[in-house]
């Protein structure tokens, strides 16, 4: 029976990868977990995985979680992840990482992403793992636009923030190792499940939506409606590459089970989404006139400047127009082809703003407008099957 050792199994992609391993293999899955007050590692792990299985529509995996998953106390910031592992494993999956971008969080980003990867590599060697699967990020492309080849990361390339730098540096650490097989997976911007729309943790698009919702609320609170439409500083022909969490996990596990040896794989979507579609979906769900994307801030009102400031760490990603090389993936499992348009994005955003995001806004004394968003969230308006395929 094969043995998989996983970090980050309680996170968004990590939990989806564990569920895929349970679905597609008969192996044992040991997951490093930091305990929480009142919860030991095993209890916390299984609780999080059962929640993921429920929201992703896979309650049938509940017995597999109980029978084949085991939580092991560990922390990637400690040497060899502080894990008292007994016995060996076959496959190491290093998924755990800081998703922070802010400069002021540099020390934590380095500790978790660069030092954490070194500690995971040490544990993988100690466990005599044959393969090391590293979840990196498509953001190692940094400031480049256009065609992005599935080549080793370039440590001299210009990046936008410490998160991107940490992933480039971590890839270099991983490539220098001598496991039988090393696979570097680079997911693009991960969103919720392709069918249920759910996400177990929140970042990226959802934080951008929350920031804009709070900005609109504050502008309205200043005395009436702001001047519409709001203008966003970005590339008018820019795009964002979204991939549902289940699609990314499925591709990574399928590639690993194909036993392909060492390689770099873009877990990206063959179809990027125009930036205009992203802001069209955001405008719909917040029930404001459609925002205008323009290159530069000429003619901006005070309201425009205020909203663009709220974009914060996501500002560089409004100037992206990347096309990711999927050759290595397509040769093994076929292209990952999941057209995600305005309606599909609105559905994902509705799930968030009328769930976790709505709870946050409510705690601050406000809810976003609820007309279209509530209709999508309640299933009255749903994406057409052709828009989200699995």
Instruction: Kindly state the helix (H) or strand (E) to which residue 163 belongs, with its residue range.
Output: helix 162-175
- Per-residue confidence (pLDDT) for residue 388, from 0 to 100: 29
| Residue matched to tokens 């500083």 | 233
- pLDDT tens for residues 130-146? 999 999 999 999 999 99
Give me 73's structure tokens.
């106390």
Whole-angstrom distance, CA of residue 355 vs CA of residue 341: 21
Question: Which pLDDT score is estimated for 210?
Answer: 86
> Distance between CA 116 and CA 281 in Å, rounded?
36
* Rounded (5°) CA angle 31-37-41: 15
3-state DSSP helix/strand/coil % of the chain, to nearest 5: 45, 15, 40
Residue 117 confidence (pLDDT):
98
Q: Is 15 exposed, middle or buried (0-12, 13-18, 19+ CB in 10 A)?
A: buried
Question: What DSSP string describes 363-382?
Answer: HTT-----HHHHHHHTTSS-
Q: What is the mean pLDDT of residues 150-178?
A: 96
Contact 294, 307 (CB under 8 A): no
- Distance CA(245)–CA(249), nearest Å, equals 6
Q: CB within 8 A of 170, min separation 6: which ones?
A: 113, 114, 117, 134, 136
Q: Which residue has the tokens 């290093």?
A: 94
| Phi/psi at 336 (5° precision) | -90, 100
Please state whether the predicted TM-score (pTM) of the whole model is above 0.85: yes
Q: Where does the pLDDT of residue 356 fall: very low under 50, low under 70, confident under 90, or very high at 90 and above?
A: confident
Of 382, 351, 366, 33, nearest to 193 (Cα)?
351
CATH 3.40.50.1860 correct for 3-187: no
Question: What SS3 state is found at 217?
Answer: helix
Q: Are 294 and 350 in contact (CB under 8 A)?
A: no
- The tens digit of pLDDT for each residue in 11-62 reads 999 999 999 999 999 999 999 998 788 889 999 999 999 999 999 999 999 9
Question: Where exactly does CATH 3.40.50.720 map onto the chain?
Answer: 3-187
List CB contacts of 94: < 8 A, sequence separation 6 or more: 7, 8, 117, 120, 121, 124, 132, 133, 134, 135, 174
- From the CA atom positions of the chain, what is the Rg in Å? 21
Measured CA distances, 14 to 52, 295, 346 (Å): 10, 37, 25
Q: Is the pLDDT of residue 243 over 70?
A: yes
């Amino acid at each position: 029976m094969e043995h998989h050792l996983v970090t980050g199994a309680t996170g968004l992609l990590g939990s989806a990868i564990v569920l895929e391993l349970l679905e597609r293999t008969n192996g044992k899955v040991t997951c490093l977990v930091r305990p929480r007050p009142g919860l030991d590692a095993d209890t916390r792990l299984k609780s999080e995985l059962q929640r993921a299985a429920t929201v992703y529509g896979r309650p049938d995996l509940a017995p597999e979680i109980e029978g084949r998953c085991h939580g092991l106390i560990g922390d990637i910031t400690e040497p060899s992840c502080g894990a008292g592992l007994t016995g060996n494993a076959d496959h190491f999956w290093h998924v755990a990482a800081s998703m922070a971008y802010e400069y002021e969080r540099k020390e934590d980003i380095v500790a978790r992403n660069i030092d954490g990867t070194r500690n995971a590599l040490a544990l993988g060697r100690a466990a005599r793992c044959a393969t090391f699967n590293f979840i990196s990020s498509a953001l190692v492309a940094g400031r480049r636009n256009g065609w992005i080849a599935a080549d080793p990361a370039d440590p001299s390339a210009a990046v936008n923030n410490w998160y991107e730098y940490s992933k480039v540096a971590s890839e270099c650490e991983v490539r220098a190792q001598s496991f039988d097989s090393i696979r570097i997976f680079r997911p693009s911007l991960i969103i919720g499940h392709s069918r249920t729309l759910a996400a177990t943790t929140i970042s990226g698009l959802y934080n951008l939506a929350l920031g804009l919702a709070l900005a609109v609320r504050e502008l309205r609170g200043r005395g009436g409606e702001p001047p519409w439409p709001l203008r966003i500083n970005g590339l008018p022909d820019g795009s964002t590459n979204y991939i549902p969490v289940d699609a990314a996990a499925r591709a990574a596990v399928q590639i690993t089970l194909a036993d392909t040896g060492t390689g770099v794989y873009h877990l990206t979507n063959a179809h990027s989404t125009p930036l205009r579609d992203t802001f069209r979906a955001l405008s719909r769900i917040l029930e404001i006139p459609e925002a205008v994307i323009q290159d530069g801030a000429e003619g901006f009102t005070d309201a425009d400047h205020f909203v663009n400031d709220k974009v914060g760490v996501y500002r560089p990603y409004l100037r992206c127009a990347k096309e990711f090389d999927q050759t290595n993936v397509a040769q093994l499992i076929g292209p990952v082809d999941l057209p995600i348009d305005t309606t599909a994005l609105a559905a994902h955003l509705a799930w968030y703003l009328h769930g976790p995001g709505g709870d946050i806004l409510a705690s601050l004394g406000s809810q976003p407008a609820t007309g279209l968003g509530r209709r999508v969230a309640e299933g009255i308006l749903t994406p057409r099957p052709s828009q989200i395929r699995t």
